[in-house]
Amino acid sequence: MKATTKNKQERVLTGITTTGTPHLGNYVGAIRPAIAASKQNDVSAYYFLADFHALIKCQDPQVVHKSTQEIAATWLAFGLDPNNVAFYRQSDIPEIPQLCWYLNCIAPKGLMNRAHAYKDATQKNIDSGEDNDFGVAMGLFSYPVLMAADILMFNGTKVPVGRDQIQHIEMARDIAQRFNYLYGKHFSLPEAVVDSETAVLQGLDGRKMSKSYGNTIPLFLPENQLKKHINKIKTNLLEPGEPKDPETSAIFQIWKAFAPQKQTDYMRKEFENGIAWGEAKKQLFELVNGEIEGPRVRYNELMESPDYIESILCEGARKARTYSVPFLEKLNKAVGLYSLEKGSS
Ligand code: TRP
């Protein structure tokens, strides 16, 4: 993530949906830059496990529960220091769903109609001759409002996200502006931070590495499994000795995301010199494994210590709520929900 302007007021906030097991793409695209950002001492950082969001996509309680632990363990294993951030579970902050309702009451429905996730779902239905809203739950439809509540509850100003989420941050701004217009200026307007430098990894089949394509390399596979996955990365039929194009190769793209500049230059030469695919994969395995073997040990230890993770998350929620509890009280008053006793206005 690019260093943002030095400003003590900067509040970096981002959420990680707790469905599925983290993969190499999540690491280079989100985890690594977010941990780096949390080390800057001129920002306050709020990172949370978006488990309310997980329920939109996944109705398997065990998967949601386990994924929460896996994702928390992953962030901690890579060195997220809970002293630098408020690291919490969304469902531990009851102020979020309460604010979400206030926002729902003012968020224009027409705005939600334009959200990509909803539009994709309805388009699929139209293409297959179903009713537009077939299988679309209210959770999916109003998901940008929940995201707005996540952000506005902590007055997040900088929100590091993937490109696909920019629209949601813009919606959060619109909703914040509308609230401010109606009730007074309570919310700062959040901005998406999308780093063009951040790698978007290709997956095993050359498309973007993504859970939904089933082409991922999970982060903390045992070594031999990691090797197997890397060996499965799709290549073309060029023989050893034939020059290969680094720019179209998933192997090279992953290499670049893990290697310092010098090693990237080295591999580009190797491609020009016709490195064998098998050899390139072997070197890629060593490079990636080198970066994750330490964290893998910590991850496995953490997965054996759920009580420890729980204590970190509870402390994170406590810290986060020192902001959200008094802020929600102010918002309650702003919308007109407060005690009838004299003197409480
Ligand atoms: N929807 C985001 C994603 O799928 C995760 C998320 C939930 C989030 N709430 C957020 C990201 C608030 C930033 C801010 O990636």
Q: What pLDDT, on the 0 to 100 scale, is given for residue 200?
A: 80
User: CA–CA distance from 38 to each of 92, 150, 225, 253 (Å)?
Assistant: 21, 18, 31, 26
Residues 83-124 pLDDT 10s: 999 999 999 999 999 999 999 999 999 999 999 999 999 999
Residue 192: which CATH number? 3.40.50.620
The total number of structural domains that make up the chain: 2
Tell me: the pLDDT tens digits for 128-160?
999 999 999 999 999 999 999 999 999 999 998
Residue 281: its pLDDT value, please? 97
Question: What pLDDT score does 3 carry?
Answer: 43
Distance 16 CA to ligand 1 centre (A): 6
Residue type, 251: I
- Give, using CA atoms, the residue closest to atom 14 of ligand 1: 14
Residues 235 and 99 in one domain: no
Distance CA 261, CA 117 (A): 37
Q: Is residue 287 one of the residues assigned to a domain?
A: yes
CA 17 to centroid of ligand 1, rounded, Å: 7
Token reading at 198: 């951040």
Residue 345 pLDDT class (50, 70, 90 cuts): low
Q: How many CA atoms lie within 13 A of 104 on its CB side?
A: 12
| Domain interval for residue 253 | 220-300
**What's the Cα-to-Cα distance from 54 to each of 16, 20, 47, 285, 342, rounded to whole Å?**
9, 9, 15, 31, 43
Do 311 and 296 lie in a common domain?
A: no
8 Å CB contact between 290 and 230: no
Q: Do residue 185 and residue 228 come from a single domain?
A: no
Neighbours of 217 (CB within 10 A): 22
User: Ligand 1: residues within 6 Å at CB?
Assistant: 13-15, 17, 50, 53, 147, 150-151, 159, 161, 165
Going by C-alpha positions, the residue among 144, 142, 138 that lies closest to residue 159 is 144
- Please check whether residue 127 lies inside any domain of the structure: no
Supply the CATH number for residue 264's domain.
1.10.240.10
pLDDT single digits (tens) 31-58: 998 898 888 878 889 999 999 999 999 9
Please indicate, yes or no, if residue 158 is contained in any of the structural domains.
yes
Statement to judge: residues 166 and 237 lie in one domain: no
Question: Could you tell me the distance, in angstroms and rounded to a whole number, from the CA of residue 36 to the centre of ligand 1?
Answer: 18
Backbone angles phi, psi at 259, to 5 degrees: -95, 145
In the prediction, which pLDDT does 8 show?
54
**pLDDT above 80 for 307:** yes
Assign 194 a pLDDT band (cuts: 50, 70, 90). confident
Atom of ligand 1 nearest to the CA of 147: 9
What residue type is assigned to position 93 of the chain?
Answer: I
